[in-house]
Amino acid sequence: MTFKAVVFDAYGTLYDIQSVAAVTEEAFPGYGEIITQIWRIKQLEYTWLRSLMRRYEDFSVITQESLAYTLRVLGLAYDAAAFARIMKKYLHLELYPDAKATLAALKGRKLAILSNGSTEMLNALVKNSGIDRMLDATISIDSQRIFKPAPNAYTLIEERLGVRPSEVLFVSSNPWDACGAKAFGLKVAWIERVRPEAMALACVKSDVVPPLTMFKALRTQMDELGVTPDHCIETLADLPELMT
């Protein structure tokens, strides 16, 4: 299959949002991982809820509000400096190890990011991680004032890159995002980073299902939304062979 453009989701797809855990663990020993999991779930919920409520705020506001929720619910006291330190990490997330090599291998096509992140957050992130020069565009849904998976978000790809949806391969590890893009009419490669057998096994093996396993399940396993992505891959490095 030939694609004129390959467009990536950012958070969780090119960037490992779990890489925030080192900073949250330092600020709140013993809570690092659970903070990142609750934070992520609420961050996503708030994008959907605010979109439906027609009370759009950009992703930096939503990321702050979902972090505030998380720390409050866990009963963790904090000062403004600790909060700011955690938030700052969102501009310095780590790329997945195979991200740069994959972008390099796909050279020749239009390459872009389409993300819920605000323009400011995304520009800082791609620059800090050194992939700004590898991308033709870093597209924030900001201008539409509605988050993915609303169709209005995915229309920005054609608008900004001039490539029709059927000639775009959209790449996301987020099941709801992969489904939203497919429902919109893009070709979609979903990255299944956690295998279902491993997930089910982790649940069966323990008497009490461990919370992190369950939170990961909610984010990593394909959703039941009536659509199926075109491709299921395990990692970014599997992308180049989909091009041939």
Active site amino acids? 9
Q: Which residues pair with 7 in a beta bridge?
A: 112, 170
Which distant-in-sequence residues (6+ apart) come within 8 Å of 163 by Cβ? 4, 5, 110, 157
Interface residue with a second copy, options 22, 73, 84, 104 (CB under 8 A) = 73
Q: Which is nearer to a second copy, 121 or 141 (CB)?
A: 141
Distance CA 90, CA 34 (A): 17
Q: How far is the CB of 149 from a second copy (least distance, A)?
A: 5
When asked if residue 192 is in the footprint of a second copy (CB under 8 A), the reply is no
Q: Which residues pair with 171 in a beta bridge?
A: 8, 189
Q: How far is the CB of 121 from a second copy (least distance, A)?
A: 18
Distance CA 80, CA 125 (A): 22
Q: Residue 236 class from Cβ within 10 Å (0-12 exposed, 13-18 middle, 19+ buried)?
A: buried
Q: How far is the CB of 228 from a second copy (least distance, A)?
A: 13
Site for a second copy in 209-228 (CB under 8 A): 209-211, 214-215, 217-218, 221, 223-227
Strands (E), 11-79: 15-16
Q: Which is nearer to a second copy, 101 or 209 (CB)?
A: 209
Segment interacting with a second copy (CB under 8 A) among 43-51, 111-119, 133-141, 165-173: 43-51
Site for a second copy in 131-160 (CB under 8 A): 146-151
Give me the phi and psi of 111, to 5 degrees please. Answer: -120, 135
Dihedral, CA atoms, 153, 16, 173, 202, nearest 10 degrees?
-140
- Residues of this chain that interact with a second copy (CB under 8 A) are 30-31, 34, 38, 41-42, 45-46, 48-55, 57, 65-66, 68-69, 72-75, 146-151, 176, 179-180, 183, 196, 199-201, 203-204, 207-211, 214-215, 217-218, 221, 223-227
